[in-house]
Structure 1
């Protein structure tokens, strides 16, 4: 009788485990509208300035079951390269970017997708003569290009200086 109980317990355990594993395999942890808001940036890109000159290449891929967008930047004007990790955080309903480049520059940005644009901004940087925040905006254009504008802004969001203006044109496969 004890061996029958033991076998029954093992069978029940295996069935419950199988059901839980099957349920977990069907779950996609980073799916839904919010997680897809930055998908327009995914791709293999050549990046041009306002004058149409090639300034770099950027490969943006999805990783970790589509939970992360990884950017891989290579400048054509300097030896600058960099990588960013971009993700949606459901706990505070924000998009986040962590940027690190080969000069050691690190930048953390946070923001939202609004009016067809991804707008991410750093915390305020205390500097003389005035404090500023870095703000980067990405917008998908009707011709399937993406415009990226990196500016510094004051405490009220007024643009102080434009650091980078890039027009992304998609190239072949990722």
Structure 2
């Protein structure tokens, strides 16, 4: 009788252990296709302008406690520093970014990953020279670098001003 009880308990333990082990080997929720579309931006970067001058550094990390990517920017030539949080919203299938810097600047962007590009833009904003959106595009290059273009566009989507172009190199 004791042997039967021990046998049953061992069998139950092994069944539970194998189920837990199988679950732990499954892909993490944050590692599914949609949540990894912006992973090409993860890394420790030096950021250059088109002329090859160093603009600053950017440490972009995948957060281990959330399905998000954190950016940590530091300008070389000014005292500009900032952080963004980037996340995929599975309720509306959009990518989102909130940027906050050390000068009180805040930027909220929303968009999609399409055709190998992450394209995010702000809501329409009324400024001194009319209504505009901030639009930022990130594109991974064949050599592993990433190009980030930040432009201002009017309400029809026409570019009115180039704000930043950074070439990210690891």
- So what's the TM-score if we normalise by structure 1? 0.82
Q: In the alignment, which residue of structure 2 is the partner of 1:40?
A: 40
Q: Indicate yes or no: 2:89 matched with 1:89.
A: yes
Gap regions ≥5 residues in structure 2: 1-8
1:11-90 paired onto structure 2 within 5 Å: 22=20, 25=24, 26=26, 28-65=28-65, 67-90=67-90
Report how far residue 91 of structure 1 moved. Answer: 0.4
The range that moved more, 72-81 or 128-137, is: 128-137
Q: Any idea what SS the aligned residue of 2:35 has?
A: helix
Q: CA RMSD in A?
A: 2.0
Q: Which runs of 4+ in 1 moved over 4 A?
A: 23-27
Mapped pair 1:105 → 2:105: yes
Using the TM superposition, give the Cα deviation of residue 129 of structure 1 relative to its aligned residue in structure 2, in angstroms. 2.8
Q: Secondary structure at the match of 1:64?
A: coil
Whether 2:153 is the aligned partner of 1:153: answer: yes
Structure with the greater relative contact order (CA < 8 A, sep ≥ 6): 1 or 2?
A: 1
Which ranges in structure 1 are unaligned for 5 or more consecutive residues?
1-10
Aligned residues of 1:150 and 1:163 also touching (Cα < 8 A): yes
CA distance in 1, matches of 2:151, 2:23: 42
